[in-house]
Amino acid sequence: MAERKSRENIVVICAHPDDQVFGAGGTIAKYAAEEKNVYTIVFSYGESSHPWLKKRVTAEMRKKECIEANKVLGGKKPVFLGMDETKFKEDSESAKQAIIRFLKSKKPSKVFTHSIDDPHPDHKAVYDIVMETAESSGTKADVYVFDVWNPVNLRKRHAPKMYVNTTATFGKKIEALNCFKSQIISLIALITSVYAGAFLNGLHSGTMLAEVFYKAK
């Protein structure tokens, strides 16, 4: 009897519980539908998003939303590093070690993370930490970056692009975004760019809807 081929592993690394959906939700759903294992590492619980609530309450709420969203997309249950927002660089060594262990365990073919052009300081910090870790860990995975808050990509405009046809899974992305009921303000701010980006990326790649990623390694 022929030996069963092991499934391909994909790892998505992001700062906050909804970033993976905004940046790569359609792609996560597509890979999951293709029976690839898609893992998500989230640096923080996003506990500062509701300053009028106790951080523990916000963290539990956002963690639950993230788990539900990944379930919609078909990805694995997220791994939370539990780091404090705005302080990723201060404890970057523990994050690097956690990521190295994960990469060595899963041996992914691709890693997705934030763009260097993203103006959010936590997103920039994650990009730096992931790139430093990718170099030091010896992973053979290709590293791709995605956009969340950056409509213009100046520093990586000449980098190789990978378009992923998300026509069949865009609905899953929207359904997953709707799981983040606590983040309605961010959703309102970004939803137009989510639709416009999918349409424009589709035009560039010859499909109806698509997500684009830039190869960083």
Question: What pTM, to 2 d.p., does this model score?
Answer: 0.91
Identify residue 76 by its one-letter amino acid code: K
Which pLDDT tens digit goes with each residue over 117-163? Answer: 899 999 999 999 999 999 888 889 999 999 998 765 555 556 789 99
pLDDT in tens, 15-28: 999 999 999 999 99
Amino acid, res. 171: G
Phi, psi torsion values for 59, nearest 5 degrees = -60, -45
| Strand ranges across the sheet with 161-165 | 79-80, 37-42, 9-14, 110-114, 142-146, 210-215, 161-165
Burial group, residue 9, by CB count within 10 angstroms (0-12, 13-18, 19+): buried
107: left (phi over 0), alpha (psi -120 to 50) or beta: left
Topology of 9-215 in CATH? Answer: Rossmann fold (3.40.50)
Extract the tokens encoding 86.
């705005």
Burial class (CB in 10 A: 0-12, 13-18, 19+), 211: buried
